[in-house]
Every structure is written in C-alpha cells, then in structure tokens.
Structure 1
Amino acid sequence: MSEHATSTDVLVIGGGMAGLAGALALRENGANVTLVERAPEFGEVGAGLQMAPNASRVLRRWGLLEKALEIGVQPKHLVFRDAVTGEELTRQTLNGEFEERYGAPYVVIHRSDLHRVLLEGCEAAGVKLVNDVTVESVETVGNRGVAHTLAGVDFEADVVIGADGLRSTLRPLVANDEPVSSAYVAYRGTVPITDETPKADLEDVIVYLGPDCHLVQYPLRKGELLNTVAVFKSPSFERGEEQYGGVDELEAAYKDCVPAVQEALKNLATGIRWPMYDRDPIENWVAGRMVLMGDAAHPMLQYLAQGACQALEDAAALQDASVGTVFTSEGINPEAWDVALRDFNDVRAGRTARVQRTARVWGESWHVSGLARTLRNLLFKSRKDNNFQYNDWLYGQDGDGVPPVAPKRVSEAAAA
C-alpha cells in the first residue's frame, strides 16, 4: 500500500452521471466521499436525454428537480410514427393523469445540463472532486478497498464504487465479458430553433420508426434547441468500423422515409457517430468492498431511454441500502458495508437486467420491415392514450422507483 494513500469513507471512480449520483447519495447519508475522474476536467458529451418519472423522482429526493426543470423541457406528448408513411401509431400524454400516476414529470434535458446539475449538487454537498486520476485496479485489503492509480498514489476507502462506464476497468473483477455490438450506430445533433423551424411537434418527443432505422426529435433548453438523433443499422459497423468516412450510409438508411425525416437529417453533426453497445446482464456486481454502478454494471441500449435513469435509481438504492446498516443513528458502522452491498445488488441486478433485455426487444420491434412492420403498427395503433400497462413496471412509484431493501438484513446489520 502506498505511503501517500488518501483515506475516505467512500471512493467513487468515474465522474459521469452514475458516479456523481452515487457520490451525492452517499454524501447525503453522511459519508466522507471522494470522487476521482481520469479526465482533466468534468464534463459530458452528447446531446439530449429523456428523464422519465422514475428518474425525476430521484432528482426531487435530492432537491435537484427544480434545477433540472429550469433548464429542461416538459414535453406534452410522446408520439410514435411510421417513418415511411408518416402515420401516427400511438401517443402518450405526459402531463395530467400520467404525471399524477407516477408522481413526477417527464423531462427532456441536455446531457451536459443534467451533468452540471449533479456536479453542482456534489460540490454543494461537500464531495471531494479530484481530476486527472486514472485508476488501474482495485483490491480489498482487510475490510477496505484500495484503488491503485497510474500515478502510484493509492486511495483507501471503506467502499469503492466503480462507475467507470461501458468499458469499465473494474468490471473484470466480477465478470469475464465484453461489450456486445448492436450493429446500430447513432448520429446526434442540436440546432437552434428559429422562426424557420417547422413549428409542428416542437412541444413533443417524436419517434419515427423505420426499417432498420429510427429518428427521434424533441426540444431542449426551454425550447431554444432542437435535438435530433438518427439511429440505423450500419454495414461498416458490422464489419468492425466504429467510425466511417462519409454520410452515404446515413442517407441510404433513410432514403424511403417521409420528407420530415429526411429534412431532419440536416440537423445532425456528422463528424462523429456513436456505435451502440450493451452487455449481457450479470447477477453479481460486488467484489469485496468494490461495487459497480451505472453503465459499468448494466450498460443498455437506448430504446427505453433509461441509461441515465437507471444510474440515478442505482444511487438511490445504495443510499437506501446503507441507511440503518452503515449509517445509523449511533453513527457510521463501516463493518456493515458487506450487508449493504449485498442488499443493493439483490435489489438492482434483477430490475436492470429486465430493462437491458426489454431495451433489446424494443429496438428489434422498432426496426422491423414487411409483415412484421404491419403487425407492429397494428399493435401500436391498438393502444390508446393513457394505457399504462406497458409503463407501470418501469415508471411506477414503488419506493420512488427503487424497491426497498430486504428488511431482515437491515435489522440484522443494525443490531451488529
């Protein structure tokens, strides 16, 4: 162990959404929290993201929902259309009965804005934030986690949270697997909304479903920006090329789509594309005093718009699992982390596995052609607005979207 080790109650590795959320949640429980990030400064790339009620409830728990609403947009509807004909297939009204049922709003927000809200929350709460730290490995020594860094300076903690994303350095501690290619890529773009922008749909989230492709549009930043995401099956990505030198694949993928979709392609930034990966679900995220969270634990395809949402749920669940065990009315009991991590893992692994698998199936249904497309459209059109049978399992309010920890184990740990 390094002579220059930094000691803390909780060490979080990774400064993305999951890491910041986990750091904030455990700081709110009373832990001394240090978060390390390999980049020289904090930031988030990408475009917009959708925050469903299961996530906005967590933001409300931490007093951050109003800040998100100040910069985000509450769309009026989620609308699905056929990309080839333009026909509306189904819609969900997102205010009124929907918001009352799930106890929180549906919000669309720029990724960098949500990241900043979480970062400022961590700063205000007193989380210690450290940049330019590359963690190479973590081991459990006694009852503490020790993170070894490229610079040779170790960090010690009662528990280490691995929130280092899809290509996690720490995941090999619990699983011998690799990211799974979906064969699909995404181009994204945000452009200012001007007087020339078509006014139709500027208050909604619109999803166009096409053969081997789809396109999503919605407003951002109080209606100042229009966010566009185009996702399609890429022959070059299937050959192993993550990036590609032209836009001919993009144009070919949408050649049969309605003019509104083809016009929307002009909003995309085509200098970089985003290959879409996930991983197969795993049952165990814990190795000694290290636990995975967010994309490091359960990377998922984007079809349910739940990547960031599930990361926030993770943080809230770990917050709940450690209250009454690690963090008690008598003070902090670090010996109880083993129980808290086991309870957290039990609560979250099954739920996130269902989200991962459902996202895969959802994506397959979006991109069908021929007879399958006809049947898909009939199924979608048979659904009426405010039919919640497909939403309740995902957005429902059981414990703010976070199932409670096992009460027996909590009582056992509290008595320890």
Structure 2
Amino acid sequence: MTHDNDVPAFATALIVGGGIGGLATAVTLRRTGVSVVLVERASEFGEVGAGLQLGPNATRLLFEWGLESAIRDVAVFPENLIAKDALTDEELTRIPLGDEFVQRYGAPYCVIHRTDLHSILLAEARRLNVELHTDTEIVEVDSESGSARARDGHTFVADVVIGADGLRSELRDRLVADEPINSGYVAYRGTIASSEVEEISNDVVVWMGPEGHLVQYPLRRGELLNNVLVFRSDGFARGESDYGGADELDARFGDCHPTVRRALDFVGKQRRWPLYDRLPTAEWSSGRLLLMGDAAHPMLQYLAQGCCQALEDADALGRLARTAPATEIGEAFTSERASRTAEVQTTARAFGELCHRTGAAARARNEMLRGRALDDFRHIDWLYAAIPAHI
C-alpha cells in the first residue's frame, strides 16, 4: 500500500455505507494510515442512477488522490455550462469551462457515470486493503466505545465509527430529531445512445422552465446522452400518495420547446425519483460516532454538489485523521465542514427556485442571466475555489 507518510492520530475506523462518500472516506483514511473496515447493507456494492457532474472542487481532490488517469479514461470534460429557456430554447448565459476556468480553479469540470466513479473508488479501496463487507446491516452503535453490532450478531469495534449511510441515515436518527423534507419535485432520469440522437454537444445544458427543467450532457466518452427531467408535482400539492406520474411529467413539459419535449422519450417512465433534502444541522457527532455525506447534509441537486460535498468531506476526514484523536475528530470535522455544507444546501434550494420561476419572475431571471458577462466567475468562486483547511 502507498499512502501519505503521516502517522494517524487514531488506528482504526468503521465506515457504515458503501456508496461514493463511504468509499472515498475509506480511501483517504487509508492514505493517512488508518486501518479501515467498511460495511454495506446491500448484497453487493453498486450505485443506482446515471450521470454525475463533478465541479473542480471535486475533481481537484480525486486527482490529488492519484485517480486522475482512471477518471479521464471514462469521464467527459464539457466545454460549457449553458442555461437556456425551456419555452423558447433561447440561450441565456454560459460558463466556458476551458483553460481560463481550469487555471482559475486548479482542476477541470467533468461529467461521469455514477457507476463508473463508484467502481473507481471501490477498486482503489481494494488496492489499499480496505476490509469490505456486504450484507451487513448495523443496528446498534455505542458512540462511547466505538462498538457496532450488525443484525447477524457480528460485532465491530473501531476507534471511530463513520455514518455514510445516506439521506435516510439510521445513524443520523441517533443524533438529530428530524426527517427528510419532500420538496414536492420529482425527477425522471435516463440515458440514450448518442447514435440515436441527431446532434449531441460537448456541453452541460439546462433548460429552465415553469416549475420544471431539463438537464442534458454526454457520458462515457460521449457514447451516451444523460437526461434528467425535474418538475413540481401538482399531485403532491394535492396530497396524493401516488404523485408525480408520467402523465404529470408529460403535462408539465407539454408547452416547452420541441428540443425539451423530445427528451421525454429519453427517460425511463417506470421509476420516478422524489427529491428530498433536510435542514442544515451541526449535530454531526457524538463521542466516537460521526456523520458525513448525505447522512450529515443531504441537499437538493440543483447545484450538482451532493457528491462533490461528500468528496470534500472525505478529504477533510483524511487530513484530520493525522492530528485529531478519535474522541475529537467528530467535533473538528463538524467545525470545518458544517458551515460550508449549510451554505451549499441553502443555495441549492435558492437556485432551484430561480430555475423554476414562472411568468414575470422568469422573465426577470432571463434578463438577469442575459446581462452576465461570460468571463464573470465571481458568483461561483465561493463554490469551486480551494477551501482552506481549518486544522
């Protein structure tokens, strides 16, 4: 194994959850020299979904961890982020992602299939000798001793227990008295072979419409076109349990430009994705137990930062493991990360509201975006610039 030359402040960690955030944390802790056990409740490791957007705040870290070559083999590096009006197809603004962008933020913007990034991190975790377990559901954790009991009776003991068990984290339930918040919006996702589409650009494009939007971008070296349609469900607003069906999807985008309506054929209608987040909290740790990723700060997807913030968490935990003892790392981690992720959570909500404006408010949004200079990066510096480590 190769890792940083630091001697960690604690010896062992148990990570609960084998998604991208959990695996990334396993990698960074092993690079620091911590012995890591990772448990996943599913019968095999894997991810559900399609595309991910990785801003330079995420790719910068992945490259630092030695994964640049693996990422470049499967990712697409788009030329622009483009905003359009979903009703007219008019371009409102764009962020060029070329040399100036890369130089400003120290890394490129890329889009990658979720399963590809998961596979890269899983392979790296195996290379670094992370002890991996599937079919293992943790049902009890003693935050003072670091003891965790699985449903099958097996007991794990570690200096630190890290909850990376997602939006509906059972470990969060031990620390925070809250519930996921249903936004009332629903997503439909799908990919289609690029050969089946008349034209595909090397851009990330979002069409902003009344209470809904479409995002498209290429995946896997341009072989696939990723499509995500998001809309506010009237059925949810009426209190219906079976809300956000394909009929609502078709109706919401029925008045949009033909380019947008065409994407209705590119997403799977058999599954809808209700969109949830939670309110920001700083109650991330107790004793030897701490939360990270969506367990700590689940957010709506409008800034494409859910995965990116989990990778930032993993990087912070890897650094803090060099200096913070097991009983102090949770507090140190929360101190470094809670305000940052709270800002991303709340800004994601606000950007969703901006994106989905209607009527006069949508026209005012369009006018504002048209007036933006293409070389003006001030409004995204806070998100993509390197974050100083507070350790």
Scaled to the shorter chain, the TM-score interval is over 0.9
- Residue 54 of structure 1 aligns with an amino acid whose one-letter code is N
SS in 2 for 1:39: coil
SS in 1 for 2:255: coil
Question: Which residue number in structure 2 is paired with residue 409 of structure 1?
Answer: none
Question: Which residue number in structure 2 is paired with residue 366 of structure 1?
Answer: 355
Partners of 2:298 and 2:371 in 1: CA distance = 31
Matched, 1:99 2:102: yes
Partners of 1:242 and 1:349 in 2: CA distance = 34
Question: Which residue number in structure 2 is paired with residue 5 of structure 1?
Answer: none
- Residue 112 of structure 1 aligns with an amino acid whose one-letter code is T
State the Cα RMSD in Å. 1.4
Question: Which residue number in structure 1 is paired with residue 371 of structure 2?
Answer: 382
1:139-161 deviations in Å (ceiling 9; x for gaps): 124xx311121111111100000
Q: How does 1:4-15 map to 2 (within 5 A)?
A: 9-15=12-18
Partners of 1:84 and 1:281 in 2: CA distance = 34
User: Which of 56, 80, 88 is equivalent to 2:83?
Assistant: 80
Partners of 2:154 and 2:240 in 1: CA distance = 37
Q: Is the 8 A contact 1:91 1:384 kept in 2?
A: no
Unaligned residue ranges in structure 2 (runs of 5+): 1-10
Higher alpha-carbon deviation: 292-301 or 8-17: 8-17
Matched, 1:119 2:122: yes
Q: Is the 8 A contact 1:294 1:310 kept in 2?
A: yes
Deviation at 1:379, TM superposition (A): 0.9
Partners of 1:78 and 1:242 in 2: CA distance = 36
Partners of 2:55 and 2:342 in 1: CA distance = 18
With structure 1 as the length reference, what TM-score do the two structures score?
A: 0.89
1:143-180 deviations in Å (ceiling 9; x for gaps): x3111211111111000000000000000222100000
Partners of 2:129 and 2:70 in 1: CA distance = 18
Question: Which residue number in structure 1 is paired with residue 165 of structure 2?
Answer: 164
Deviation at 1:40, TM superposition (A): 0.6
- Residue 66 of structure 1 aligns with an amino acid whose one-letter code is S
Deviation at 1:239, TM superposition (A): 4.9
1:29-59 deviations in Å (ceiling 9; x for gaps): 1011000000010000101010000000110
SS in 2 for 1:44: coil
Q: How does 1:289-300 map to 2 (within 5 A)?
A: 289-300=288-299
1:208-236 deviations in Å (ceiling 9; x for gaps): 00000000000000000000000001123
SS in 2 for 1:79: strand
The percentage of aligned residue pairs carrying the same residue is 52
With structure 2 as the length reference, what TM-score do the two structures score?
A: 0.95
Partners of 1:65 and 1:243 in 2: CA distance = 43
Q: How does 1:243-258 map to 2 (within 5 A)?
A: 246-258=245-257
Q: How does 1:223-234 map to 2 (within 5 A)?
A: 223-234=222-233
SS in 2 for 1:308: helix
Q: How does 1:277-356 map to 2 (within 5 A)?
A: 277-323=276-322, 325-326=323-324, 336-356=325-345
1:223-276 deviations in Å (ceiling 9; x for gaps): 000000000011233456675595210100001100000011110011001000
- Residue 157 of structure 1 aligns with an amino acid whose one-letter code is A
SS in 1 for 2:261: helix
1:350-400 deviations in Å (ceiling 9; x for gaps): 0000000000000000001111001111111111212111110000023xx
Deviation at 1:95, TM superposition (A): 1.3
1:308-343 deviations in Å (ceiling 9; x for gaps): 0000000001111122x25xxxxxxxxx22233221
Q: How does 1:194-233 map to 2 (within 5 A)?
A: 194=195, 196-199=196-199, 201-233=200-232
Partners of 1:369 and 1:103 in 2: CA distance = 37
Partners of 1:274 and 1:397 in 2: CA distance = 32
Question: Which residue number in structure 2 is paired with residue 410 of structure 1?
Answer: none
- Residue 172 of structure 2 aligns with an amino acid whose one-letter code is R
Q: Is the 8 A contact 1:243 1:272 kept in 2?
A: no
Matched, 1:146 2:147: yes
- Residue 130 of structure 2 aligns with an amino acid whose one-letter code is V
Question: Which residue number in structure 2 is paired with residue 55 of structure 1?
Answer: 58
Partners of 1:241 and 1:305 in 2: CA distance = 29
Q: Is the 8 A contact 1:185 1:276 kept in 2?
A: yes
- Residue 263 of structure 2 aligns with an amino acid whose one-letter code is A
Count of equivalent residues: 381
Unaligned residue ranges in structure 1 (runs of 5+): 1-7, 327-335, 407-416
- Residue 90 of structure 2 aligns with an amino acid whose one-letter code is E
1:109-130 deviations in Å (ceiling 9; x for gaps): 0000010011011011110100
Query: Structure 1 residues 58 and 203, CA, compared in 2 at 3 Å: closer, same or farther?
Result: same
SS in 1 for 2:158: strand
Query: Structure 1 residues 83 and 308, CA, compared in 2 at 3 Å: closer, same or farther?
Result: same
Matched, 1:237 2:232: no
Partners of 2:104 and 2:313 in 1: CA distance = 22
Partners of 1:98 and 1:257 in 2: CA distance = 32
- Residue 183 of structure 1 aligns with an amino acid whose one-letter code is G
SS in 1 for 2:28: helix
SS in 1 for 2:166: coil
Matched, 1:175 2:163: no
